[in-house]
Amino acid sequence: MRFYRPPATSLKVYSMTQPAAKTEMDYLNRYREDDNSSSNSNECSYQDCSKKVPLGGQCSDLDAESQKFLPEHNLGKKKYETEYHQGNASFGMSVFNLGNAIMGSGILGLSYAMANTGIAFFVILLVAVAICSLYSVHLLLKTANEGGALVYEQLGYKAFGWPGKLAASFSITMQNIGAMSSYLYIIKYELPIVIQSFLGTKADEWYTNGDYLVLLVTLAIILPLSLLRNLGYLGYTSGLSLLCMVFFLIVVIIKKFQIPCPLPEDVSALNETISKMLNATLSHPNTTAVDYSEDACTPKYFVFNSQTVYAVPILTFAFVCHPAILPMYEELKDRSRGKMQGVANVSFLAMFIMYLLAALFGYLTFNSRVEPELLHTYSRFSGFDVILLIVRLAVLTAVTLTVPVVLFPIRTSINHHLSASKEFSWIRHTIITVCLLAGTNALVILVPTIRDIFGFIGASAAAMLIFILPSAFYIKLVKKESMKSVQKIGATAFLLCGLLVMCGSMTLIVLDWIHNASASQDTQANGH
C-alpha cells in the first residue's frame, strides 16, 4: 500500500492480437502483424509507455489517460512488428523500484500492530505475511508465463473473462483508494502539528483543525495537480517517498534512546497525583488511569486483545505491491522468471528489515501507548523537536504529491469502464476527479482513525491481491499441472488461506466496530 503505486499497474493493456510464436516466452513477448484482426496496434502500446509516467516522446501525441489502458482500436491505425521487447532495467534498479512499490504508509501502523500482538507474535506474523507475499509473486510470474499476459487485470480476463478482470480492477482500485485515504489521514494528523510548531498557537484554533486542513490542501494543491492530463515529473515522487521513510526509520531508532520511560506525560501525571495524595494514607489505592509500575516499561512478547485483529490486515496492507510485479518483470533487462523472483526476494527482505526495525523501535519507545499512526504519537510525549519537524515536512510533501499519482490509475480505470470508446472530455475528467477526492475526503473526516483504513483495506483488497486472485489465476491458467500435483494443491491451500484471512479479519473488525459504537453510546448516555 504504500506511498506510491506505480501507475503502470493500471495503465498498461497489451495487444490482443494473436501471436504467431509457439513457445511460452515467445507467446509472452512476440507480437506479429495480423491483417485479419479487428484490433489495430500502435507502437506506443507495447514499448515506451510501460514506464510509470509518459514524459513526452513517441507517445506524447496520445491522451495521457488512454495510454496503455484503452483498447487498441482507440489508440491508432499504425501496425508494427517486434521480435522481442527488451527491458532496460537492471537488477539493482528493479529492486529499488519494487521497494518503492512495497513501501508505503503501512509502515506507520506497524508499531501499533506490535503493541497489540507482542514482539514474538508480531515477528511470527511478519515472517508469515512476507513469505506468503513472496509465494504470491511466484504464482503471478508462473501464471504470466503460462497465460501470456503481463498485466494483472489481463490475467483476470484470460482466467475468468470479464468477471475476473472486474475483480482485479476493483481490488486494485480499492487498494489505491485505501492508499489515498491513508495519505490524507497523514495530512490530517501531521499538518496541524507543523502549523502549531511554526506559529506557536494552541490546538483549538480553526486553522489547526485537521478536517479543515485536509480539505484546504485538497482544494489548493491536490485537486489542481489531479486535474492534469499528464502526471509529468510527479511520477518520480515514489523515490522521494522511500527516502522519506528511510529518514523516518533512522529518526525512530534515534528517538528510542532519547525518550525516557516512563514517558514524560506519565511523569507529570505521577507528580500531580502525588501532590494530591500527600495527606492520604499509604494504603489508599491508586485510582488513576496511569500505570506507574515497572511493568509499563517492560515489552510484552505475546499480547491478545480486541485490537489484535488488526495486525494481519495492517501487515497485508504494508506488503501489497503485486499489481506492480508484472510491469516491472517486463522492464527487467535479460528477464527470466528466476531473475525476477530474485528481485522480489531482495526487495521483500529489505522491506522486511525496515518494517521490523520501525515496528520494534517504535514499540519499545512507547510500549502500550503507541497510536495507530506512529509519527503522530511523538507529538504527545515530546515538545518542539527540529528533527521530527523535518520528518513531518518531508512526509507531508511526499504524500501530498503522491495522492494525484495514486488517483491517476483509478480515474483511468473508471473512465475506461464507463466510456472507453468516447473521446476525451474535460467535463467527464473533472467530474470523476472531484467525486473521487470528495469521497476520499469524506472517508477521512468521518472514519475515526487510520487504523480502520489499514484494517478494512488490508482485510479486503490487499487479501484479494496477495492471496486470492494470484492463486485463482494460477489454478485456472496453468494447464500443464494437474489438480493433484503438489503445485496445484499448494495454490488451492493458499486460496483457502486467503479466504480465511479475508473473511475472518473482516468479521472480527466489523464486530470490533459494533462493540466500539455500543460502548460509545453507553458512555454518552452515562455522561448525560
Q: What is the pLDDT at residue 374?
A: 92
Helix (H) or strand (E) holding 120: helix 119-147
- Name the residue ranges covered by the structural domains of the chain: 86-276+316-503
C-alpha cell at 458: 488490508
**How far apart are alpha carbons 283 and 150 in whole angstroms?**
71
**Can you say how many angstroms the Cα of residue 467 is from the centroid of all Cα atoms in its chain?**
15
pLDDT tens for residues 323-368?
889 888 988 888 899 999 999 999 999 999 999 999 999 999 998 8
Q: Which residues of 106-125 are buried (b: 16+ CB within 10 A; e: fewer)?
A: bbbbbbbbbbbbbbebbbeb
Is residue 85's pLDDT more than 80? Answer: no
Alpha-carbon 121 to chain mean position: 23
**Owner of C-alpha cell 480539505:** 215
User: How many angstroms separate the CA atoms of 191 and 400, rounded?
Assistant: 11
Closest Cα to residue 466, out of 351, 309, 332, 318? Answer: 318
Of residues 178, 174, 149, 152, the one with CA closest to residue 164:
152
| Interval 158-208: pLDDT, tens | 999 999 999 999 999 999 999 999 999 999 999 999 998 888 777 677 888
Residue that is written with C-alpha cell 537488477 in the block: 91
Domain 86-276+316-503: homologous superfamily in CATH: Amino acid/polyamine transporter I (1.20.1740.10)
466 within 8 A of 106, measured Cβ to Cβ: no
Ranges 222-236, 299-313, 360-374: which has the least confidence? 222-236
Size of the chain, expressed as the number of residues it contains: 528
Mapping DSSP to helix (H, G, I), strand (E, B) and coil, where does residue 31 land? strand
User: What are the Cα distances from residue 52, in Å, to 75, 248, 288, 488?
Assistant: 18, 25, 54, 34
Question: What does the CA dihedral 261, 264, 268, 274 come to, rounded to 10 degrees?
Answer: 10
Between 69-78, 436-445, 454-463, the lowest mean confidence (pLDDT) is in: 69-78
Instruction: For 173-182, write each residue's pLDDT tens digit.
Output: 999 999 999 9
Q: Which pLDDT tens digit goes with each residue over 488-506?
A: 999 999 999 999 999 999 9
C-alpha grid cell for residue 187? 495530512
Q: Per-residue pLDDT averaged across 434-445, rounded? A: 95
Bond preceding residue 262 cis, omega within 30 of 0: yes
SS3 89: strand
Contact indicator for 8, 327 with CB cutoff of 8 Å: yes
pTM over 0.85: no
